[in-house]
Amino acid sequence: MQIQTPDWVKHAVFYQIFPDRFAKSQQPRKRLLQNARWEDWHAMPTLQGYKGGDLWGVMEQLDYLQDLGINAIYFTPIFQSASNHRYHTHDYYQVDPMLGGNPAFKELLDAAHERNIKVVLDGVFNHSSRGFFFFHDVLENGPHSPWVNWFKIEGWPLSAYNGDFPANYQGWDGNRALPVFNHDNPEVREYIMEIAEYWIKFGIDGWRLDVPFEIKSPGFWQEFRDRVKAINPEAYIVGEVWEDSREWLDGTQFDGVMNYLFAAPTIAFTTGDRLDMEQVQGRSYYPYPPLFAPEYGEKIKALLKLYPWEIQLTQLNLLASHDTARLLSIAGEDAKSVELATLLLLTFPGAPSIYYGDEVGLPGRLDPDSRRGFPMEGNWERDVLEYHRKLIAIRHNYPALRTGDYQVLFAEGTVYVFARTLGTEELVIALNIGTEPAQVNVEVAQLQSKPNQMLYGSGEAAWTTEGELSHLDLKLPARSGCILA
């Protein structure tokens, strides 16, 4: 079977936005609440408070995102919900009125598309919420409700709020706020397929699927793909699966997954023993520090063999998300670790994803701290923004970094060197994660050119040739990386 994935994703640099925390509109708008009791934007976020970010605010920041080099946005959920993260969906057809509702989203979508920025939404199709119309009807009418078979009800009466009594229905992860759908009911299945189709017709460019591995109904995701792609063959379908995802990446279901299998070793390699274990424990990706170059090389080679190449190119690669601590905090506030990891992220096959605020040095421990308000300009780390801009621009300028082969050239001790090649375009990327300068001699048989122009970073590179073999002599400062073209 010929696997087909959306071409634009291979050239995308994603920016992940948590809408309540990214930007609040500065323009006068017809708002739902005139004097809302928002939490202070810069105060530590709480589990239940709102900071009042909205979609008009995102629209006002599109120039900033475009300037950064972003050409795709992934939004965490935006549909009506009674939670700041909006994973408790009330109505799948309504954008939350606090964010500006459907009109604000339409305006944002058009403005993004004018700039050639794609927009991917979060689809929470495993469970709804207590406030979801159909579940609410079951709470009101008990066994007489026409929607009883839409959920996994185990007995009566239901106890949706009082934890002293059994819930008597299945909630996601045992949480009674999140009643799980009965996906074996054809009506439920059809309802979800129609939501997926509705928003693709509305103009979105794809779906990121929340906990899709929880939906075990045979053929569900195959049908989902068929129906979405029938409307837009270039729509992106990306699953939130943290581990080995071969089961979903056979070409009949998802185009990619959130690539935590890239994040984990990359974080372990670049941060080493600076890693704050508390920030990664209990998460399904496990950075195993310290990791040195040979082990890192092995993990990356194994990862690149795991899925078909066409799928590798449309993986969603990341270093942090709303479900993890921020990289800076994982790395024990070590800024160099973040830069080295970002260099690896932006030179890896697949679409890199920047979690809002990471590009200006925003820290944040585990949720809710990792969902802080985007900082004021005076608090940005300018050098961090600068290297993000530079690395994103280099990625856009060199097709080899997007769709070229990935070959490990050298992996010993603290030094890792690899090449990205596409036709005659060849780039060499080298990192020294050690606290001492390093000098290495790399034997290179497979490159035609001798890349020695320093596009990024610092160090010295010199080439020598003996017969068929070329040797690259590299001097790398401590805790540094470079790109040669």
Which sign, positive or negative, has the C-alpha torsion 8, 249, 257, 135? Answer: positive
Mean pLDDT score, 240-268: 97
pLDDT for the residue numbered 1: 83
What pLDDT does residue 80 have?
Answer: 98
332: left (phi over 0), alpha (psi -120 to 50) or beta: left
pLDDT for residue 436 is more than 80: yes
- Tokens representing 423 are 């036709």
At residue 34, the pLDDT reads 75
How far is residue 63's CA from residue 81's CA, in Å, rounded to a whole number? 29
For the segment 218-243, the average pLDDT, to the nearest whole number, is 98
- What local confidence, expressed as pLDDT, does residue 302 receive? 98
Segment among 23-32, 269-278, 280-289, 405-414 with least mean pLDDT: 280-289
3-state secondary structure of 239: strand
| Residue 463 identity (one-letter amino acid) | W
The pLDDT assigned to 283 comes to 76
Which tens digits make up the pLDDT trace of 370-398? 999 999 999 999 999 999 999 999 999 99
In this prediction, residue 446 has a pLDDT band, given cuts at 50, 70 and 90, of: confident
- The mean per-residue pLDDT over the stretch 169-188 comes to 98
One-letter amino acid for residue 3 of the chain: I
Q: Model confidence over 111-137: pLDDT tens digits?
A: 999 999 999 999 999 999 999 999 999
In a 13 Å sphere around the CA of 185, the CA atoms on its Cβ side amount to 16
How many CB atoms lie under 10 A from the CB of residue 76?
23
Give mean pLDDT, residues 205-232.
98
The 10s digit of each residue's pLDDT in 28-84 is 887 777 778 899 999 999 999 999 999 999 999 999 999 999 999 999 999 999 999
Note whether 416 and 269 are within 8 A (CB). Answer: yes
State the DSSP code for 179.
B
Contact (CB, 8 A) for 87 and 124: yes
- Residue 468's pLDDT is what? 80
Distance separating alpha carbons of residues 112 and 343, to the nearest angstrom: 27
Q: How confident is the model at residue 305, as a pLDDT?
A: 98
- DSSP 8-state secondary structure symbol assigned to residue 469: E
- Mean pLDDT across the chain: 96
Report pLDDT for 314: 98
Active-site residue list: 210, 240
Establish whether the linkage from the previous residue to 477 is cis, with ω within 30° of 0.
no
Nearest to 147 by CA among 159, 155, 135, 132: 135
pTM of the model: 0.97
Residue type, 268: A
Give the pLDDT confidence of 319-364 residue by residue, as tens digits.
999 999 999 999 999 999 999 999 999 999 999 999 999 999 999 9
pLDDT at 300: 98
pLDDT for res 164: 97
CB-based contacts of 79, cutoff 8 Å, min separation 6:
86, 89, 90, 91, 92, 93, 94, 95, 96, 124
φ and ψ at residue 464, rounded to 5 degrees: -135, 155
138-165 pLDDT, tens digit each? 999 999 999 999 999 999 999 999 999 9
Residue 257 has pLDDT above 90, yes or no: yes
| pLDDT score recorded for residue 288 | 78
CA distance 134 to 485: 58
Q: What are phi and psi of 443, to 5 degrees?
A: -85, 125
Q: What is the pLDDT at residue 37?
A: 87
Show Cβ contacts of residue 358 under 8 Å, excluding neighbours closer than 6 positions.
319, 320, 326, 327, 328, 338
| CA–CA dist 51, 449 (Å, integer) | 53
Q: Please, what are the domains in the chain?
A: 7-126+181-397 (3.20.20.80), 404-484 (2.60.40.1180)
pLDDT of residue 445: 87
What is the model's pLDDT at position 467? Answer: 82
Q: Give the pLDDT of residue 205.
A: 99
Distance spanning both ends of the chain, measured CA to CA? 36
> Percent of the chain having pLDDT more than 90?
94
